[in-house]
Amino acid sequence: MATKYERAKKKGGGYYTGVYYYESKTRPRLHGHPDRCFVISYKVDGKKRWEKIGWESEGYTPQIATEIRAKRIRALRHGEEVKTSRELRAEKRKTNRTLEEIKEAYFSSNKGQSIKGRKTDLNRWDKHLKPLVGAKRVSELSPFDIERIKKAMADKKPATIANALELLRRIINFGIKHGLCPSLKFTIELPQKDNEVTEYLTEDEARRLVEVLDSWPNQDVARMVKLAMLTGMRRGEIFKLKIEDVDFTQGLITLVDPKGGKTEHLPMSEPVRELLRDQIAWAKERYPETQFVFPGRGGGQRVDCSAVERIKEAAGLPKSFRPFHGLRHHFAVTLASSGNFTLDMIGELLTHKDTKVTRRYAKFLPEAKKKAAEEAARLISENVDSSSTGKVVTFKLR
DNA sequence: CGCTTGTCTAGGTCAACGTC
DNA sequence: GACGTTGACCTAGACAAGCG
């Protein structure tokens, strides 16, 4: 509907240039006349533009409107971009997108396209986050929403909940970084998880495993497990291993794009050398075209190996023992407890990027452990002796 | 050095495969 | 063609690197 604009009149006569108003039929009357909304008009690139300034009841006057208009015109003259309040509002909406929109932007960004866990993350979003917060904007998000997510996932392990919330946080952080939303007014607290496991095999279990492997009908799979056992290589590294990555002359195995991203080299021991030679021969015979040492169906890269589960069963290993990663732990623990390797060397062989991870094997170092225990005992008994006159220390040493 | 971000594995399920 | 074995796929969950 067309609202009639009146030119704003000056008290002394004449008009305010480019300042207009229209009167409201619904707002409460003011000073005996209808409330007035001031509007200014100016030209942008030769086109006339109207901009609402505000209501008289809100304190706006023709003078204020004139000032704003002057500011606009000055800015335009200097080539600055001039935004109307409507545009500013639209812009604000743009910088406060829904989480669904931000998630979309995140996953279609260059970075989002290439993260390796993309599929997993998308699944987390669809399953745990989208139903509860997908339609929300970051500005509307409250700690209560986080609680709701946690509640909905109550039957899951803390690690899973943490993974989902972490993704939510990552998406929000992306939105903030790219101006798609304001920053979050509170922090998302992730549940604490205490799930560190260090598993290893007893001598007996290791022996049984080797026996089963030796007699396993499918030696392809058996060799794969043996390789894990002898080198502590990760499952993925074994799957990805190409024939060209095995250098028999130098005695080196090249790990391309491993967990840390940087190519690594592993020395090849004699049993490993033999094993790989057999395996490569097998692979070439089975799939003449394959590039992989342990090819999957059709000679492509193997993606999985459920046979190891049955090997584990056949060897009577504990249910909780994880075939590949468990062997990696076993490798590290065996090395550590032999006392012949430093933690640094073990970390090197496992291609750890950070000693923090290797350090968990410290407890298996017999020498260091013994020394530490003796040192502790010495300190404590000294303390007991020196304070035996006092009455603070009441425990007895055996 | 702890928090944040990213990557990999486990385990269940089911279809494809290979063998007889 | 029946049947046991294996590989692929999916989601939950753990592990590891990055970073301030």
* Digit-coded pLDDT (tens) for A33-91: 888 888 888 877 767 777 788 888 878 888 888 888 888 787 777 767 666 666 665 55
How far is the first Cα of chain A from the last one, in angstroms, to the nearest whole number?
97
Our measurement of CA A312 to C1' B19, in angstroms, reads 24
What is the pLDDT, as a whole number, of residue A381?
Answer: 45
What is the pLDDT, as a whole number, of residue A380?
Answer: 46
Angle at A262 between CA A259 and CA A266, to 5 degrees: 85
Residue A258 belongs to some domain of the structure: yes
Q: How many domains does chain A have?
A: 4
Q: Based on the domain organization, do A17 and A147 belong to the same domain?
A: no
Residue A195 belongs to some domain of the structure: no
What nucleotide is nearest A351 when CA is compared to C1'?
C16
* Digit-coded pLDDT (tens) for A203-226: 777 788 887 777 776 777 888 888
Q: Which two tokens stand for residue A305?
A: 């190996």
Our measurement of CA A307 to C1' C6, in angstroms, reads 7
Query: Of A93, A118, A149, which marks where a domain is finished?
Result: A93
Q: Based on the domain organization, do A356 and A208 belong to the same domain?
A: yes
**Residue A163, pLDDT above cutoff 70:** yes
Q: Based on the domain organization, do A243 and A345 belong to the same domain?
A: yes
CATH of the domain at A332: 1.10.443.10
Near-strand C residues (CB closer than 7 A): A 117, 119-120, 123-124, 127-128, 156-160, 163, 193, 195-197, 217-218, 220-221, 259-261, 296-298, 300, 302-307, 310, 325, 328, 351-354, 357
Amino acid at A355: T
Q: Rounded distance, CA A323 to CA A339, Å?
A: 25
**Residue A363, pLDDT above cutoff 70:** no
Q: Based on the domain organization, do A31 and A172 belong to the same domain?
A: no
What is the pLDDT, as a whole number, of residue A307?
Answer: 76
Q: Mapping DSSP to helix (H, G, I), strand (E, B) and coil, where does residue A225 land? A: helix
Residue A182 belongs to some domain of the structure: no
Residue A193 belongs to some domain of the structure: no
What nucleotide is nearest A190 when CA is compared to C1'?
B3
Phi, psi of A121 (to 5 degrees): -65, -45
Identify the domain containing residue A84 by its residue range. Answer: 6-93
Q: Based on the domain organization, do A257 and A306 belong to the same domain?
A: yes
Higher pLDDT, A305 or A369: A305
Q: How confident is the model at residue A15 (pLDDT cuts 50, 70, 90)?
A: confident
What is the pLDDT, as a whole number, of residue A398?
Answer: 27
Q: Based on the domain organization, do A147 and A228 belong to the same domain?
A: no
What is the pLDDT, as a whole number, of residue A394?
Answer: 30
The bases of strand C with some atom under 7 A from any protein CB are: 5-18
What is the pLDDT, as a whole number, of residue A215?
Answer: 74
Angle at A252 between CA A251 and CA A256, to 5 degrees: 160
Q: Which two tokens stand for residue A237?
A: 């590294």
What is the pLDDT, as a whole number, of residue A25?
Answer: 77
* Digit-coded pLDDT (tens) for A242-297: 888 888 898 888 876 555 456 677 788 888 888 888 888 888 777 777 788 888 76
* Digit-coded pLDDT (tens) for A87-136: 665 555 566 777 888 887 777 776 666 666 677 777 778 778 887 788 88
Q: Based on the domain organization, do A342 and A311 belong to the same domain?
A: yes
Q: Based on the domain organization, do A354 and A284 belong to the same domain?
A: yes
Q: Based on the domain organization, do A169 and A275 belong to the same domain?
A: no
What is the pLDDT, as a whole number, of residue A85?
Answer: 63
Residue A194 belongs to some domain of the structure: no
Least confident stretch, A50-54, A112-116, A234-238, A337-341? A112-116
**Residue A382, pLDDT above cutoff 80:** no
Q: How confident is the model at residue A23 (pLDDT cuts 50, 70, 90)?
A: confident
Whole-prediction pTM: 0.59
Q: Rounded distance, CA A212 to CA A217, Å?
A: 10
What is the pLDDT, as a whole number, of residue A89?
Answer: 59
Least confident stretch, A10-19, A161-170, A232-241, A389-398? A389-398
Residue A197 belongs to some domain of the structure: no
The predicted model gives A152-175 an average pLDDT of 78
Q: Based on the domain organization, do A359 and A374 belong to the same domain?
A: no
Task: Report which secondary-structure segment, H or E, holds A367.
Answer: helix A366-386
What nucleotide is nearest A187 when CA is compared to C1'?
B3
Q: Based on the domain organization, do A306 and A160 belong to the same domain?
A: no
What is the pLDDT, as a whole number, of residue A93?
Answer: 59
Q: DSSP labels for A234-281?
A: -HHHHHH-BGGGEETTTTEEEE-S-TTSS-EEEE--HHHHHHHHHHHH
Query: Of A58, A75, A93, which marks where a domain is finished?
Result: A93
Angle at A15 between CA A10 and CA A21, to 5 degrees: 85
Q: Based on the domain organization, do A265 and A126 belong to the same domain?
A: no
Our measurement of CA A306 to C1' B14, in angstroms, reads 13
Computed over every residue of chain A, the mean pLDDT equals 73
Query: Of A93, A124, A155, which marks where a domain is finished?
Result: A93
What is the pLDDT, as a whole number, of residue A396?
Answer: 30
Percent of chain A with pLDDT over 90: 0
What is the pLDDT, as a whole number, of residue A316?
Answer: 74
What is the pLDDT, as a whole number, of residue A387?
Answer: 39
The predicted model gives A145-155 an average pLDDT of 78
